[in-house]
Amino acid sequence: MMTSEFFETWFLPGIWITVQVTLYSAALALVVAFAIGTLRTSRLWIVRFLSGIYFELFRGTSALVLMFWMAFALPLLAGWQFVPMASGVLALGLTYGAYGSEVVRGALAAVPTAQREAGVALSFTKMQRLRRIELPQAWPEMVPAFNNLLIELMKGTALVSIITVADMTFAGGLVRLAKNESAPIYSLLLVLYFVFAFILTRGMRVLERHAKKKVGRAPDKSGLFSGLRAKPSTDVITGTGGVK
């Protein structure tokens, strides 16, 4: 069986690499999502066209193939190369940023027109309307979708092991070769990814409640086991209570 020495020597550094790749990729994806998503709501057709090209290009490209291209093809074309982790971070960040841009665009489009017109009546510039009116109202709608994308990005960090980034999946492969034990190694990896996903989800739920509270909306009270509990309801005609 895998000893604590193997875990500390291989898995702990791999876990730290996975955390770094997740954080760096998520930060890049967030910047790209807001930049491209906002540009896609521009009144200028050329701006919408160019940002739309980016969205379609990276949405329709495999993150793994893009990772390979940055790690192995770009050095041949440009004469210089990224370190493997940078290739992984860029590929994941640019790809998931494209998906996130659609979340931003959709949330901004859902802001009532009357709110924008109120900003115009107050002589706000486009940036002022975006910062003071549109983004504060759209942000609570973005958080649940961003939560899903963040989980997918975190799981996608396993791809960087293919370009020799020593994340925990890469470390698991090395330990499997050294100990010739597949079941315990990959079972541990499943548990670790689940724990990471659970922690991220809990954090995003807190962020979502805070965002809704900030704009005066009732926070969602749903929890991990909320679907298993009966919820009291009131009949709108008789006014009597019940359970559904």
Contacts of 48 (CB under 8 A, 6+ apart): 39, 40, 41, 42
pLDDT of residue 6: 65
Q: Which secondary-structure segment (H or E) carries 234?
A: strand 232-234
Nearest to 99 by CA among 130, 70, 60, 68: 60
Contacts of 158 (CB under 8 A, 6+ apart): 167, 169, 193
pLDDT per residue of the chain (244 residues) written in tens, 0 to 9 = 556 666 777 788 899 999 999 999 999 999 999 999 999 988 899 999 999 999 999 999 999 999 999 999 998 888 888 899 999 999 999 999 999 999 999 999 888 888 877 887 887 877 888 888 888 889 988 999 999 999 999 999 999 999 989 899 998 888 888 778 888 889 989 999 999 999 999 999 999 888 888 777 666 665 554 444 445 444 434 444 444 4
| Backbone φ, ψ for residue 241 (5° rounding) | -90, 165
pLDDT of residue 224: 54
pLDDT of residue 2: 56
Distance CA 128, CA 135 (A): 10
Nearest to 92 by CA among 53, 111, 66: 66
Asked whether 2 and 181 are in contact (CB, 8 A), the reply is yes
What the block records as the tokens of 158 is 């396993």
User: The pTM is what?
Assistant: 0.84
